[in-house]
Structure 1
Amino acid sequence: MEKKLDKLDVLEQKVNNFEKEINKVWTNIQDQNKKIEERFMVVEEKAESSDFNLGLTNDKLITMQRENNALKDDIVYLQSQSMRNNLVFANIDESPSGVLENTEQKLREFLEQNMKIAKEQVERMAFERVHRMGNKIPGRTRNIVAKFTLFKERELVRKQWKTLDKTKYYVHEQFPKEIIAKRRELVPKMKEAKRNGHNAWISYDTLYVNGKAQRDERS
């Protein structure tokens, strides 16, 4: 068992190194995306000129738009990879304004008391960061986002979600806003499949029914 854990630690280190490389690639892609958008604007301005060949302009615009969309998809994917160790916790009571809150300690207490994770395991867990999301709004409780150092510990916590059933609390993975929008569109289809007796779930931005990915008919 210790050897397997050591191998898992080595694998987690490789994943962390990979994430660092992803962040570098992400930065480069964002720079390329900005340049393409600038080129796109220049081409649009030229298209307004009567001296510019309209047919050629349309071809270039279509090509550049496709490139731009592809880059945006890459950026969204890289964002999701940078969030792979994150979990979002909702409705954990927040300290009043003016009171300093130890968010990480509050989360550890929640994991132990509400998610029924052994105290020893909770104490061993390592976080890169634990913080409230967004600006404080009177009368509202901000979600807590936790970035786990180890993916296996994130998974251990995520799989305890059923302990929060029938409570005001819930926990979910963190995704870029584009992926969240796609997942919301798939929820009604997932519920319908379940009502029809199928085994259905959503993974990333894809609906699976009885183990088979359900692709968008328009794609």
Structure 2
Amino acid sequence: MADGGREPTNKDLMDCMNALGVRIGAMERKLGVLDNLEVKVMDFDKELKKIWLALDDRVKRTDARVMSLEELVDYADVGAAQMAEKVAMLEKQREELRDDVAYLKSQSMRNNLVFTNIQEDNSTGIETAEITETKLRNHLQEKLKIAKDIADTIRFERVYRSPGQPVSGKIRNIVAKFTFFKDREMVRREWKHLSGTGCQMFEQFPPEVVEKRRKLVPKMKDATKEGKRSWIVYDTLYVDGKPVKQ
């Protein structure tokens, strides 16, 4: 009904219908926007699913690569450990071989003694082996107090000066290789007679053994100062009859 109880006119009805049409049109436009938005949301959802699937696939592939790398690292660690063990074993074998070679060298020098400060005829640059041997036999008699008949009968495989060119004013050592070890020991036991003569006599060893013996000398002297019996045999120090570890 119209205001004041008046019946609505056709114009009133038309206005009301127009207003409803406007409102319905607005609602349809909003529904259209909502429909477009729904489509966009659905499209966005599809895109998100694609992205998620791609990320999931990439994560799986990355995990697989990481696992593969971890396995490689594990293998590398195992390989490195095995390699370290092999290197350590080879190092040990090398040291053992060095010791064996040094021992074999020492055995080849077993009958050798080295004599120092025996006058050398180097004015001409040449001292024959015969002259060197004669000088050594005289040295055995004069300095080591070995009887002439014994000194003359000692047999040598070889007597020679240390390698190197003779230098005026310098005396090279004499290396004597005895034929019999008992003769070498007989001569070596007379070492005390060289005290105060300026001459020395010592066993010949390879450089490796000489270096080990040199390191043991201070320990031997310390043990002697403590009143202990100490001596060096080959490359081992003995104190009161017991070998001392280096």
TM-score of the pair, normalised by structure 2:
0.64
Does 1:68 pair with 2:98?
A: no
Name which of 204, 214, 225 aligns with 1:174. Answer: 204
**Residue aligning to 1:207:** 237
Cα deviation digits, residues 41-89 of structure 1 (max 9, x gap): xxxxxxxxx9xx5444333222222211111110111111111100000
Letter in 1 for 2:199: Y
What SS class does the counterpart of residue 151 from structure 2 fall into?
A: helix
Name which of 222, 225, 229 aligns with 1:192. Answer: 222
What SS class does the counterpart of residue 238 from structure 2 fall into?
A: strand
What SS class does the counterpart of residue 87 from structure 1 fall into?
A: strand
What SS class does the counterpart of residue 140 from structure 1 fall into?
A: coil
What's the C-alpha RMSD, in Å, of the aligned pairs? 1.8
**Residue aligning to 1:143:** 173
Any conservation in 1 of the 2:236–2:244 contact (CA below 8 Å)? Answer: yes
Q: For the residues of structure 2 that align with 1:60 and 1:84, how far apart are their CA atoms?
A: 35
Q: For the residues of structure 2 that align with 1:109 and 1:181, how far apart are their CA atoms?
A: 31
Q: For the residues of structure 1 that align with 2:192 and 2:198, how far apart are their CA atoms?
A: 12
**Residue aligning to 1:44:** none
In structure 2, the gaps of 5 or more residues are: 1-75
**Residue aligning to 1:123:** 152
Any conservation in 1 of the 2:110–2:204 contact (CA below 8 Å)? Answer: yes
Alignment of 1:17-32 (within 5 A): none
TM-score of the pair, normalised by structure 1:
0.71
Q: For the residues of structure 1 that align with 2:82 and 2:237, how far apart are their CA atoms?
A: 40
In structure 1, the gaps of 5 or more residues are: 1-49
After TM superposition, where is structure 1 displaced by more than 4 Å over at least 4 residues in a row?
none
Does 1:78 pair with 2:94?
A: no
Q: For the residues of structure 2 that align with 1:199 and 1:112, how far apart are their CA atoms?
A: 30
Q: For the residues of structure 2 that align with 1:91 and 1:55, how far apart are their CA atoms?
A: 55
Q: For the residues of structure 2 that align with 1:61 and 1:75, how far apart are their CA atoms?
A: 20
Q: Which has the bigger relative contact order, CA under 8 A and spacing at least 6?
A: 1
Q: For the residues of structure 1 that align with 2:85 and 2:168, how far apart are their CA atoms?
A: 52
Between the two proteins, the alignment pairs up a number of residues equal to 166
Cα deviation digits, residues 129-176 of structure 1 (max 9, x gap): 000002123432111000000000001100011111111001011111
* Mean CA deviation greater in 150-159 or 206-215: 206-215
Q: For the residues of structure 2 that align with 1:212 and 1:64, how far apart are their CA atoms?
A: 31
Q: For the residues of structure 2 that align with 1:96 and 1:64, how far apart are their CA atoms?
A: 47
Q: For the residues of structure 2 that align with 1:187 and 1:167, how far apart are their CA atoms?
A: 22
What SS class does the counterpart of residue 78 from structure 1 fall into?
A: helix
Does 1:110 pair with 2:139?
A: yes
Letter in 2 for 1:140: K
